[in-house]
Chains A and B, each alone.
Chain A
Amino acid sequence: MSILTKALIVIAALGLAACNNPDRNGAAPGDGSPLNGTGINASGLGDPNDPNSVAYFNQTIGDRVLFAVDTSTLTPEGRAVLQGQAQWLASHPTYAAIIEGHADEQGTREYNLALGARRASAAQDFLISQGVAANRLRTVSYGKERPLAVCSDEGCYAQNRRAVTVLQAGAGV
């Protein structure tokens, strides 16, 4: 086995591990988050202009929907994003997804966990209503544990109240 082949296998394995780790918080590729293994993700994401790539799903379609304060109701913009996600998932049956629900820091820890679960579930229900098989989707809530933006005002809070669809290589979750 050549060194190059070995290296490719290692990279592929790392990419898979990253895809299967739900503790990714929907962070954008290459955002430098220390938990996120910058570079490892990028190798598996592909080109955002390639409609078959994970990067296309994450960036061009959009992997996340946002929510108003203390609500789990999908906005019209959110529904449009999720419709795009459902179409992509329909044409890429070898992917499953974990939907991560998040809350901003204005709330107690337990309540925010439950609120994040409501948000993830709202996104999941909508994807199922758009024809995605239920066994390809799973939810997890991080409550307020994994903010994307760390300032303490509405500019950051609005980004943190989110449900992020994280693609998983493999047909089911």
Chain B
Amino acid sequence: MRLIQTLTKSAFVALSLLYPMSGAAAPLRIVIDSGVIEPMPYAVPSFVDEGGAGELAANITRVIASDLSGTGLFREIGPEAFISQVSSFGAPVAYNDWQAINAQALVTGAVTASGDQILVKFRVYDVFSGAELGEGMQFAGSPGSWRRMAHKVADAVYSRITGEGGYFDSRVVYVAESGPKNARLKQLAVMDYDGANIQYLTDNSALVLAPRFSPTGDRILFTSYATGFPQIYLMSAADLSTRALEQQDGTMTFAPRFSPSGQSVVFSLERGGNTDLYSVDIASGALSQLTNSPAIETAPSYSPDGSQIVFESDRSGTQQIYIMSAGGGEPVRVSNGKGRYGTPVWSPRGDMIAFTKQNEGRFHIGVMLVDGGEERLLTSSFLDEGPTWAPNGRVIMFTRQGAGEGGEASLFSVDISGRNLRQITTEGPSSDPAWSPLLP
């Protein structure tokens, strides 16, 4: 702490000499809530190969830049503009050269590869303060995990500059689609948050819907028609072993989601045409009925503290969002705008609910406060649905489906400010994304 203060002071002196009229440099900080429009310029010179890294050093650097620029909060200044090169990780930083090209943040790093291990080191600099931002760090891992290590570097940079948790070192489980619209084949897949490292978890022999990660990412819930009837299943992420979670003849179960403890699952159970919410204890199989109404109750999601459940119900005549105690009881309606509201998902920070809204023939992804206030629609299209939160609660991923015979589903993400709408590149049509927690 003392060292940082000292550095900042001396940097301030140096800066004052260079720019006597400019006053103190503002601390390097993006406050995301304050309506950031102009992304922060930064430079990330290719990480130095300190032995055996070869192309890996440049590849890691590119993933870091892709993560940071992909947020819309940062804008990379490319190497063609660089005045000085970083050829040694330990060399002093030529702040003047980076200031001259207006790079506000500088990320430097080095990669060493030997046998079955790679080592990635990095430092972040506040260029206009002339000081390092936080301490240098290193990550060690297997060569196959190089993307994860790059994401971890980018998460650290993002966190230091925004003051928020990162989300790049995370995965997304989703449904990969193929075939024509009237005979769509679906299979479960998982990918890095940016669409890399796709793995298929099931074949496409049975229709599968809406997978969900457990709070630690070790298990996946989903709905499958494997028996010919939709039922919820629990899969181990490690070995893909799968078992039916709740199966009663003549019923259909769907829309499962873990409790924050990971020990129970809330879901919809349909019997005789009526759909209500239930929870089941994973270990014992004990079942509790949470709602009992002739309306459709579905799409439940727990509050992060596990005390409440947000869900949708058409008890008022149209789909609307309600909150009730996790054990059931009288729900309180929270959606109050025009149109229909469904698929509510409680944010990991607990302060907001993301939802799908249908109004006047359009679909929207939106967010609102837990009491229904400050509703904000983030997207608008022919068919957007099924939001899922990034682990830091700043970004939402969802399904966008095109119209007509050729209309395919794809995954999009958007900042909760409504900016930075982006399509995630996958191997084919994709739907029903669910974000994992930040990986350990």
Contacts and interface: CB of A to CB of B under 8 A. Distances in A.
A113 B254 contact: yes
Contacts of B250: 138
A120 interface: yes
A109 B432 contact: yes
B385 A146 contact: no
Interface stretch (B13-21, B146-154, B178-186): B178-186
Given A23-B225, A152-B382, A147 B298 contact: no
B181 A34 contact: no
Given A111-B312, A145-B184, A151 B404 contact: yes
Contact of B181 (A115, A140, A150): A150
A61 B109 CA distance: 74
A34 B184 CA distance: 10
A152 B403 contact: yes
A117 B229 contact: no
A108 B180 contact: no
A150 B228 CA distance: 23
A110 B298 contact: yes
A108 B386 contact: yes
A148 to B, nearest CB: 6
Interface string A21-61: 11101010000011110000000000000000000000000
Contacts of A110: 210, 254-255, 268, 298-299, 312, 342-343
B273 A107 contact: no
B228 A108 contact: no
Interface in B160-187: 179-184
A165 interface: no
A85 interface: no
Interface string B368-401: 0000000000000011011000000000000001
Contacts of A108: 299, 312, 319, 342-343, 356, 358, 385-386
Given A105-B383, A108-B342, A148-B182, A141 B358 contact: no
A139 B272 CA distance: 9
A143 to B, nearest CB: 8
B273 A121 contact: yes
Contact of B358 (A107, A124, A138): A107
Interface in A125-149: 125, 138-142, 145-149
A114 B296 contact: yes
A64 interface: no
B330 interface: no
Nearest to B299: A110
Given A108-B386, A113-B230, A152-B407, A33 B272 contact: no
A162 interface: no
A161 interface: no
A117 B184 contact: no
Contacts of A121: 272-274
Contact of B182 (A23, A33, A115, A125): A33
B275 interface: yes
Nearest to B296: A114
B301 to A, nearest CB: 11
A150 B180 CA distance: 9
Contacts of A148: 182
Contact of B268 (A114, A118, A125): A114
Most-contacted residue by chain B among A23, A109, A120 (CB, 10 A) = A109
B270 interface: yes
Nearest to B405: A150
B252 A140 contact: yes
B209 interface: yes
A34 B183 contact: yes
A23 B275 contact: no
B252 A141 contact: yes
A75 interface: no
Interface string B219-244: 00000010011100000000000000
A5 B344 CA distance: 58
A141 B342 CA distance: 19
Contact of A147 (B181, B342, B385): B181
B179 A34 contact: yes
A34 B298 CA distance: 32
A73 B403 CA distance: 27
A105 B401 contact: yes
Contact of A22 (B181, B229, B268, B319): B229
Nearest to B183: A35
A141 B274 CA distance: 12
A152 B405 CA distance: 8
6 contacts: A27-B182, A109-B385, A118-B274, A118-B296, A139-B273, A152-B404
Given A139-B273, A150-B182, 20 more contacts: A27-B182, A33-B183, A72-B273, A108-B343, A109-B386, A110-B210, A110-B298, A110-B342, A113-B230, A113-B254, A114-B298, A120-B273, A121-B273, A122-B273, A140-B252, A141-B230, A141-B270, A145-B184, A145-B207, A152-B407
Interface of B: 179-184, 207, 209-210, 225, 228-230, 250, 252, 254-255, 268, 270, 272-275, 296, 298-299, 312, 314, 319, 342-343, 356, 358, 382-383, 385-386, 401, 403-405, 407, 432
Closest 6 CB pairs of A and B: A121-B273, A152-B403, A114-B275, A114-B296, A108-B342, A22-B228
